[in-house]
Amino acid sequence: MLAHKAFPYAPWVMRLLPWHIHSLFLGWTVQLAFGVAYWIFPRFALERPGDPRGRAGWAWASLVLLNAGVLSAGLAGAAGWGVGLALGAGLEAMGVLAFVIHLWPRVRPAIIQ
């Protein structure tokens, strides 16, 4: 797209703008923050030794929803399909909600023994 701004060669590439925005903001920045938070945030090692990160299913759901959302929004945006773009954005929002449900109890001081 930036190359197209320099030397216009294919007007259709600008239809990829929603994909660019959704991929880089949600697919890269937000997802990397989620991945690192899942890794680093305080765990339940003492309370739940078998399930130290707790409610991991919500984090997995977030992974699937977020990526499905980025893909849907990107494809729909490229195709100029507004409903699909809204659907993708909805999936992304549910993905974020699922991760919030996962992470909420882990926002606490670390217990070291």
Partner 1 sequence: MPRLTRWFIRAALIHLIAALLLGWILGLGRIMVLPPILAAASPVYFHLFMLGGVAQFIIGVAWWMFPPLSKERPRGNEPLAWAVFFLLNGGLILRAICEPWVAVAPQPIARWGLLLSALLLMVSGWIFMGLLWPRVKGK
Residues that bind partner 1 (CB under 8 A): 2-3, 5-7, 24-25, 28-29, 32-33
Nearest-approach distance from CB 100 to partner 1, in angstroms? 20
Name the minimum Å distance from CB 40 to partner 1: 8
φ, ψ of residue 2 to 5 degrees: the values are: -70, -40
Nearer to partner 1, 36 or 100 (CB): 36
Where does residue 55 fall: left (phi above 0), alpha (psi -120 to 50 degrees), or beta otherwise? left
Q: Which is closer to partner 1, CB of 33 or CB of 107?
A: 33
**DSSP for 43-79, written as a single string:** --TTT-TTSTT--HHHHHHHHHHHHHHHHHHHHHHHH
Q: How far, in Å, are 33, 41, 49, 103, 107 from residue 111 at the CA level?
A: 22, 11, 13, 16, 12
Question: Smallest distance, Å, CB 1 to partner 1?
Answer: 8
The distance of closest approach from Cβ of residue 104 to partner 1 in the complex, given in angstroms and rounded to an integer, is 23
Using the minimum distance from each CB to partner 1, give the nearer residue, 30 or 94: 30
Please say which residue, 39 or 83, places its beta carbon nearer to partner 1. 39
